[in-house]
Structures are given as structure tokens and as C-alpha cells.
Chain A
């Protein structure tokens, strides 16, 4: 069973960079797409972007000027950097695996990131 685990700071100051890592266990990061999805408290889901195991990326156009994703296949990890954060970036951040039909079939438990000074 594939397991995903997000890690990173729970508090980020405004204008700084939010950095998260997703570690995959029980399966390989190879030959698949891996995404980040976020959810502000009490609100819906927003896709941030995805990365293939080779390193190619697609980002949400609304965030692409602030987002960078990377992959480390040797560690079975992929990462998210979101620059110049504001309070509007406060959310639970999930990592997820691409499943059949361009779905998300496995998700991490989510990590709350708060943007505040």
C-alpha cells in the first residue's frame, strides 16, 4: 500500500517561501505524476501543480509565477516551494499520486501551513 507523508514548517512568515516535502513509502516515485493540492479551512480543494518522476512539471496558472516543484528519486520524495506567501496561502497542503483517469488515488494526511508573523 502506497503511503504519502507531508513534512515541513507549520508556520511561515508573510513574503517568505513555503517549502514542503512529500515522502513516498510502499511504492516507487518512478513513472508517475505527483501533485500538491491545498485546502483553506472550511473551503474547497485547489490543485497547485504536479511533477513527473523525470522532473517535468505543470502548474496551476493562477500560482505558476510563485511555484516551483522538484523531485528526488533517490529519496522517493518530491517537494513544493511557494514564494512570496500571504495569509491567503494559509491552508492544509496535501500531496497526492496520479491514479487512473487522471485522478488522485493516494493522498497524504495533509499538513497545515499558517502564514503569519
Chain B
């Protein structure tokens, strides 16, 4: 079973700064099945990135994803006030068929 470890647990930044969030897999995974979500309090998660680097429909271009193998990154180039939330990475595995989420990174206003 793949384990996804996100770091840091909490990231304190100011609007306008650059945010870099990490997701590390316990073994090499297929980039095609690595995604990122944003979740705000009281809301369902929102898909940001699929296939490690493809922005979902309607997602601003300040969000970008990168990485391969075991190390993946979500970058927010210039933080807007609405970007402060919890972010999860997610992987889909085929042996067994299973979805796994990281434990989340809370992005908070400094």
C-alpha cells in the first residue's frame, strides 16, 4: 500500500508570497495518478491538479504541480487571500485498486 506524506504540516505565509507544498510517496508511483485538492472549512475538497501537473477546469494559473517518482510539489506562485486552506495530495493505485490521501498541509495566513 502506498503511503503519501505531506510536508510541512502547517505552512504560514503572507498574501503575495510563494507557497511550496510537498507530497512524498512511500514508493515510486505513476504521475498520471497523482492529484491535488484544496479544502476550505465546511466545504468538500476541490480538485486542483490531476496527472501531477494538469490544472483542473477553472483553476487559476498561479497553481502548478510538478514532480515524478516519489516526490511531488504543489506551488502557488502568489498567494491570494482565498488560497489559505488545507491541501491534500491523492494517489490511485491499481494493485490493489485503492485511493490514498496524504494527511494534508494547512496553509495559514502569517
Contacts and interface: CB of A to CB of B under 8 A. Distances in A.
Given A44-B88, A47-B99, A104 B45 contact: yes
Contacts of A101: 32-33, 35, 50-51, 54, 92
B33 A110 contact: no
Contacts of A102: 32-33, 35, 92, 99
Interface string B88-102: 101010001111111
Place the interface of chain A in its size category: 20 to 34
B78 to A, nearest CB: 25
Contacts of B32: 101-102
A89 B47 CA distance: 25
Interface string A73-117: 000000000000000000000101001111111011110000000
Interface of B: 1, 32-33, 35, 37, 43-47, 50-51, 54, 56, 88, 90, 92, 96-104
Interface of A: 35, 37, 44-47, 50, 58, 60-61, 94, 96, 99-105, 107-110
